[in-house]
Amino acid sequence: MRLLAGLADPLLAPVEGLPKGAHVVQLACGTGELSLALARRRLDLRVTAIDVNPTVLDAGRAGAAAQNLPVEFRTMSMAGLDLADGSVDAIISRMGMFLPGTAPFDVVAREAARILRRGGPLSIATWSDLADSPYTRIGLSVLRRLLPEGAVPDMEVVFSESARPGAFEGYLTDAGFLDIEAEWFQWETEYPDFEAWWEFDAGFGALKPLFDSLSAGQRAGAREVMADMIEEHRTPSGGYRLPATARVITARR
Ligand SMILES: C[S@@+](CC[C@H](N)C(=O)[O-])C[C@H]1O[C@@H](n2cnc3c(N)ncnc32)[C@H](O)[C@@H]1O
């Protein structure tokens, strides 16, 4: 995913020193680009990527096959992992663990703690609020202008709870994680033209079903509103460059 590519380096740094054969699990992997990036760097690791959505896992398998990378994709909920206690050497997750709308944060933190061996690293990136999550913030705002009141869920509340200082860290502490460190990571993503941004913002994630529900007329209106809203991010070459901020959290079991 173009937006999240900039997050690979900070997330993979804590697991790159693992010994040969170590087992790394990515939670809520989507199409698994982060796992593929890890496998490219460390072909000797065992990498398992899990998600509840079989369709994205199929896309991940196709990507792994095309690049000849040994990543295993498994359908599984991070709220009930089919992995034995202490059987995993490291956990990574990029906008998966602690993503609003996925699974209860306390349950996911406990499951991660259960499968991770003592001392094993956890390395995750999360959005903290909508100000930091440009695609959800802009997409929500466009949808609200077009759909009747009440049709667009109140995601602001969920995201602002995520932004409560220490909220995510608290779930990790309660689950038994140690050495928890969190820092802000900022990066920018470029979209070569409006179409590339639209495909990304309307075509993925929690807002996709709402964009899909728009009539042809509403869709045309949504594109106009969207173009206005991202005008300030225009680059001299006619593309768009948008900033994003994530919280990168590392811990040890
Ligand atoms: C924003 S996407 C993740 C992006 C991906 N991690 C990446 O780095 O490109 C969120 C993912 O969470 C998955 N998901 C939602 N609920 C889940 C659950 N309970 N267990 C595992 N995955 C879940 C969705 O299917 C979706 O693929």
CA of 201 to the centre of ligand 1 (A): 16
Q: What percent of the chain has pLDDT over 70?
A: 99
**CATH code of the domain in which 121 resides:** 3.40.50.150
Residues 121 and 66 placed together within one structural domain of the fold: yes
- Choice among 90-94, 115-119, 195-199 with the minimum mean pLDDT: 195-199
Among 1, 24, 52, 77, say which to mutate for ligand 1: greatest number of ligand atoms within 8 Å of CB.
Answer: 52
- Tell me the pLDDT tens digit for each residue of 32-89: 999 999 999 999 999 999 999 999 999 999 999 999 999 999 999 999 999 999 999 9
Query: Atom of ligand 1 at shortest distance to CA of 205?
Result: 1
Count up the domains in the chain and report the number.
2
Burial profile 192-202: b = 16 or more Cβ within 10 angstroms, e = fewer: eebeebbebbb
Residues 55 and 108 placed together within one structural domain of the fold: yes
Q: Tally Cβ neighbours within 10 Å of residue 190.
A: 14
Instruction: Provide φ and ψ at 135, rounded to 5°.
Output: -70, -35
Degrees (nearest 5) of the Cα angle 24, 125, 139? 130
Query: Atom of ligand 1 at shortest distance to CA of 33?
Result: 9
Distance, CA of 106 to CA of 114 (rounded, Å): 12
Range of the domain at 33: 1-128+163-190+245-253
Q: How confident is the model at residue 145 (pLDDT cuts 50, 70, 90)?
A: very high
Query: Atom of ligand 1 at shortest distance to CA of 102?
Result: 16
- Tell me the pLDDT tens digit for each residue of 96-122: 999 888 999 999 999 999 999 999 999
The pLDDT assigned to 1 comes to 64
Helix (H, G, I), strand (E, B) or coil at 180: strand
- pTM, two decimals, is 0.89
- Tell me the pLDDT tens digit for each residue of 207-224: 889 999 999 999 999 999
Which residue type, as a one-letter code, is found at position 250? T
Residues 2 and 99 placed together within one structural domain of the fold: yes
Residues 123 and 224 placed together within one structural domain of the fold: no
As a whole number of Å, the end-to-end CA separation of the chain is: 29
Residues 92 and 16 placed together within one structural domain of the fold: yes
Side-chain-facing half-sphere of 228: CA atoms under 13 Å: 8
- Tell me the pLDDT tens digit for each residue of 115-143: 999 999 999 999 878 877 788 889 999 99
Residues 14 and 101 placed together within one structural domain of the fold: yes
Ligand 1, atom 26: closest residue by C-alpha:
30
